[in-house]
Amino acid sequence: MADVNRVVIIGRLTRDAELKSLASAQTVAKFSIAVNRKKRQGDEWVDEPNFFDIVLWGRMAESLHQYLVKGKAVAVDGELRQDRWTQDGQNRSKVEIIANNIQLLGGGSQQSEYSSGRSSAPGKNNTVHTANTSVSDDGFADDIPF
């Protein structure tokens, strides 16, 4: 049986993404997202925040950097990677999500949605319907035989 390392996570950025160009001419963007988990505490439910570090490489990092700002909701599809090192004689490790695909969620202002050529609700028309539809002429005869 093959091993599987895949994660899909949706959350909000806790800080603006940091974009760096490495000596190897590769570009990397790093940021963190917060994901709330509902937890019962006594008689009430409270949000328990969980924080995850995300690493995004290459052209996608360059393209998305300007949109990856604090508070932005994103969906991340990627894999887990554990870095291990020794610091002051102590073994340390850190798990990061290496992003393969990122989708920006939520919208900006109405102006930015329309300027991008997308409607405010994909898959729905932007027709305004009123309660009094009997006065409008829809071009169909009133007595349709079916």
Which domains does the chain carry? 1-81 (2.40.50.140)
What does each C-alpha distance from 105 to 10, 75, 108 come to in angstroms? 9, 7, 10
In this predicted structure, what is the pLDDT of residue 141?
A: 52
- In order, the DSSP letters of 100-140 are EEEEE-S---HHHHHHTT--SSTTS------S--TTS--SS
CA distance 3 to 79: 12
- Name the nearest CA neighbour of 10 among 99, 83, 82, 95: 99
3-state secondary structure of 24: coil
In this predicted structure, what is the pLDDT of residue 51?
A: 96
Instruction: Name the residue type at position 62.
Output: E
E strand or H helix that includes residue 114: helix 110-115
Instruction: Name the residue type at position 52.
Output: F
In this predicted structure, what is the pLDDT of residue 25?
A: 85
CA distance 134 to 145: 19
Torsions phi, psi for 112 (to 5 deg): -70, -30
**Could you tell me the mean pLDDT of each successive run of 10 residues in the chain, 146 residues long?**
93 94 91 93 91 95 93 95 94 95 73 28 35 42 51
